Chains A and B, each alone.
Chain A
Amino acid sequence: MLKVRVIPTLLWKDFGLVKGVGFDSWRRVGTILPAIKVYNTRDVDELILVEITATSEEREPDYESVADLSAECFVPLTIGGGIRTVEHITRLLHAGADKVSINTAAYEKPSLVTEAANRFGAQCIVASIDVRRSPDGRYECYGRSGTTATGREPTEWARELEDRGAGEILLTSVDRDGTMSGYDLDLIKRVSESVRMPVIASGGAGEYQHMLSAVAHGGASAVAAASIFHFTPKTPLEAKRFLAKNGVAVRTEKNTNRSVITES
């Protein structure tokens, strides 16, 4: 059975690991390399690493840093931030990324998603959608780290991205980001029902129960989280234990085959 993934999200700028609230008020929470080492040792399901200032500063991805960071990572690594061309993606894959997350560039040049999927395969392209909910309850997609309204409605945009060849959706509620008050279940449900590809829920996890709800009620294939792992004693491993106890299939110690591996 396919397992539900628990994915720590690491946001970084200037080599520092940061976390904000509502895509703002960034706090420095450590350095990035030790964090990756810890997650690798703890055998997490996957990691998402986003350089949050690359796009706003009109920079290309920092390939050298990605190469250093990926060298310590033997689980799937998705890299986001500043990706605008197929060439950027080629260089990131050479540097050690397994998947890339495209956000702002998809609005500005939707053909990039098509081109990238044709070249690298759908499985390599994670379309990142940042969403804000207006007071009247309407959802809208935002680009440029949640600062620029795009006029796009999330379910329609997700379907277009799927048609263009994206392989997964990383769906983030900007309103819930960093609040630890729970995922936007309504948003997750709407988007996951409108596409056939996997949807990764993001923004708002503060309790293991929130993760369970994103899967059980929202239909998410994976849950991403940052604050809960940075600011509380909660861990991805315990999150999976909680999910397993509540009937969700996860990758547990039993099937990670730890005991029979001999060190080289």
Chain B
Amino acid sequence: MKVVLINYGMGNLGSVARALEECGATVEIAENPTSLVGAERIVLPGVGAFPDAMARLEAARWPGELSEALSNPEVRLLGICLGMQLLADKGHEVAETAGLGLIPGEVVRLVAGQGERVPHVGWNEVRHRQASSPLLAGIGDGTDFYFVHSYQFRASLASDILAATPYCGEFASVVGSGNVFGTQFHPEKSSRPGMQLLKNFLARPGC
């Protein structure tokens, strides 16, 4: 299976590529959207700040081409960390910036509660919010995944929140709408449960 890993100059690409390969994928690290031809899975990694990331994606003309590719329901996209946040309509990091608009919502800063620190760094629980999401198949409710972020995706539709994590109140840790998914945590760095999630993402329905 061909997996396109979007390189917009700011992801922890090496880690993500390596984990996908470990799950059996053939990874093509792509700097421009011509690579989307024939891709069944697309991964938008993310380490960085929202406005810079959008500017880089737009400069390489990714947004329009991604929408086009995703009009095929068999193609799936996974946004990781910042990559998940970029799926939103807009972000509020540094300056208000339009996102990819693939899942309705906004990205806002985490507000630390009593005894909490921001950035939210470390392993925390991922609690299922929708019964039987294929992306979370075989992953127990409340399994720990690795997070490192200061902003959260506030989804407009509760039905798009596949899982949530109790920190700074509670935030959406997995979102999904149709063939577009996002994880606020880093599956590529979440050891065995992370690998299971990536395998679920790569799996063809019905297999």
Q: How far is the CA of A21 from the CA of B123 in the complex (A)?
A: 31
Contact yes or no, A198 B117, CB < 8 A: yes
Q: How far is the CA of A99 from the CA of B121 in the complex (A)?
A: 11
**A67 located at the interface, meaning its Cβ lies under 8 Å from any Cβ of chain B in the complex:** yes
Contact yes or no, A261 B138, CB < 8 A: yes
Contact yes or no, B139 A257, CB < 8 A: yes
A-B contact count (CB 8 A): 150
Identify the closest chain A residue to B187 (Cβ).
A74
Residues in chain A near residue B193, CB distance under 8 A: 256-257, 261
Residues in chain B near residue A46, CB distance under 8 A: 146
Contact yes or no, B192 A168, CB < 8 A: no
A121 to chain B, nearest CB (A): 5
B82 to chain A, nearest CB (A): 7
Residues in chain A near residue B52, CB distance under 8 A: 118-119
Q: How far is the CA of A5 from the CA of B144 in the complex (A)?
A: 12
**B59 located at the interface, meaning its Cβ lies under 8 Å from any Cβ of chain A in the complex:** no
Q: How far is the CA of A98 from the CA of B125 in the complex (A)?
A: 20
CB contacts under 8 Å to B, within A136-195, are 167-168
Residues in chain B near residue A123, CB distance under 8 A: 47, 81, 119, 121, 148-150
Identify the closest chain B residue to A117 (Cβ).
B49
Contact yes or no, B119 A74, CB < 8 A: no
Contact yes or no, B143 A93, CB < 8 A: no
Contacts A74-B188, A256-B191 given: A90-B14 contact, CB under 8 Å?
no
Instruction: Please tell me the number of chain A residues within 8 Å of chain B, measured between CB atoms.
Output: 46
Contacts A5-B122, A167-B121 given: A67-B14 contact, CB under 8 Å?
yes
Chain A contact surface mostly: loop
Contact yes or no, A256 B192, CB < 8 A: yes
CB contacts under 8 Å to B, within A63-83, are 67, 70-71, 74-77
Contact yes or no, A76 B186, CB < 8 A: yes
Contact yes or no, A256 B144, CB < 8 A: yes
CB contacts under 8 Å to A, within B168-200, are 186, 188-196, 199
Identify the closest chain A residue to B167 (Cβ).
A2
CB contacts under 8 Å to A, within B9-29, are 9-15, 18-19, 22-24
**B66 located at the interface, meaning its Cβ lies under 8 Å from any Cβ of chain A in the complex:** no
Contacts A97-B14, A121-B82, A260-B139 given: A197-B144 contact, CB under 8 Å?
no
Q: How far is the CA of A252 from the CA of B22 in the complex (A)?
A: 24
Q: How far is the CA of A118 from the CA of B142 in the complex (A)?
A: 33
- Contact partner of A222 (CB less than 8 A), chosen from B23, B122, B166, is B122
Contacts A45-B123, A120-B48 given: A260-B10 contact, CB under 8 Å?
no
- Contact partner of B10 (CB less than 8 A), chosen from A97, A99, A120, A262, is A120
Identify the closest chain A residue to B193 (Cβ).
A257
- Contact partner of A261 (CB less than 8 A), chosen from B9, B47, B121, B195, is B195
Q: How far is the CA of A121 from the CA of B24 in the complex (A)?
A: 30
A-B CB contact pairs (8 Å), 9 listed: A74-B191, A94-B13, A98-B47, A124-B47, A167-B150, A196-B112, A198-B121, A257-B143, A261-B192
